[in-house]
Amino acid sequence: MRAFTVGKPSRRRARWRLAAAGGVVLALAAAGCSSSGSSGGESSNGKTTITELDYFTSSGGNTALNWYNKKFEQEHPGVTVKRTAVAFANLITKVLQDASAGDMPSLVLLDNPNVAQVAATGQLRAFNDLPGFTTSGYYPGAIKECTYQGKQYCYPIGTNSVGLFYNKAMLKAAGLQPPATWDELAADAKKLTKPPVYGMAFDATADEQSTWQLEPFFWSNGASLTKVDTPSFASALQLWVNMVKDGSASKSVLNWGQSPDLTQQFTQGRAAMMVNGPWIFPDLNAKGWKYNDQYGIVPIPTDKAGQTVIAPLGGETVDMGAGGSTEQQKLAWEWVQGMQQPDVMTHVTSLMYYLPTKPAVTDQVLKGGPEYTVFAKETQTARPRTTEYGANYPKVSQAIWTAIQSAITGTSSVNSALQTAQGTISGVQQVSGG
């Protein structure tokens, strides 16, 4: 997950040895790859083009992909990486259309909850039989989000999650410490509310962002997406509803996305606390907000003190299309492997303001950025969003965010909204065979 955004010298990666390259040719030839489709093709002068599709249209992600594609071309003379970036909202539609037509790009960068959905089309290339493939050294959750029906279809680029950002001056003036429980959060939000300042801000928009932001509240409380009309789930949503009802959170949360909306409310002094993630660090830096000076970050509060925060894993993944020539598939795999090198992972994630997906690399990053500490700790227990439903997660998420909107607007009670959501989810379970 990203907020719909968004160095260190890099070390030149060694080229494949001839034997390894030969192994890729054999492995990919056995897969029966075609030479047609969006993957492009080899031109008459011997040059090869591979295509790459993503949704990083601006900011850090855009810079990171341009940097890496240029680096790859420099290390592979005669190879061109043709990059296409589309808006986040349009990417999955385009990918599914390409998959339906058997016309996938060589490389596609997917938001992690969409991996299973695209893999189910049969138009992604599994990594398991490719030379050099390994899943060792990664956070378990980050690797799990790339698994579909026992096979690995991607590598994570970087990871992120959400924490509670708070205005240090406002909390100090109110004599408050950052909240650790829901009761403390609700009480502090009320005390910090002094119009036009709201004590709390979160994303309750009609899209995946609101499901994503509510997940750490209900997962940490023992709730599950398999049955949402339960007290443990309802109490998490009720917390949000109550804060809007008593005025300590604005009803505009129904329309406030994570970035730039929540970030603007926070930096303009109209929200004392907010749920958000590390992708907003560039925006905070641009406003002159420094970590531990103007703001602090703590884990998402839990219902009871001492509960483990179970946050969702965010971030994008690197996936390979199933089409293209043998040479294009070989080069695409080299592109994927190059992105996994520690120096490249460090540089790319630093440009995107994400965390690396390898603990050993994260340890090095934390030495220079204590503002990432909360997110790094949450990553150790974080959960992939597709754990329970795989390719059908987007349908379940829509049922949840619809319930969030209904409950906050008052169209339905929390219990009624979740019962309706459960009806949809039960239908998904039947289709999934769950």
Digitized pLDDT (tens) for each residue of the chain, 434 residues in all: 554 333 333 322 322 322 333 333 333 333 333 333 444 455 546 789 999 999 998 778 899 999 999 999 999 999 999 999 998 889 999 999 999 999 999 999 999 889 999 999 999 999 999 999 999 999 888 888 899 999 999 999 888 899 999 999 999 999 999 999 999 999 999 999 999 999 999 999 999 999 999 999 999 999 999 999 999 999 999 999 999 999 999 999 999 999 899 999 999 999 999 999 998 998 899 999 999 999 999 999 999 999 999 999 888 999 999 999 999 999 999 999 999 999 999 999 989 888 999 999 988 888 767 899 999 899 888 898 888 888 788 899 999 999 999 999 999 999 999 999 999 999 987 665 54
Looking at residue 33, its pLDDT comes to 34
Angle at 58 between CA 95 and CA 157, to 5 degrees: 60
pLDDT at 130: 97
Rounded distance between C-alpha atoms, residue 200 and residue 190, angstroms: 8
Q: How much is the pLDDT for 379?
A: 86
Q: What pLDDT score does 36 carry?
A: 33
**Domains observed in the chain:** 18-160+315-379 (3.40.190.10), 163-311+389-432 (3.40.190.10)
Q: Which residue, chain included where needed, has tokens 């730039």?
A: 260
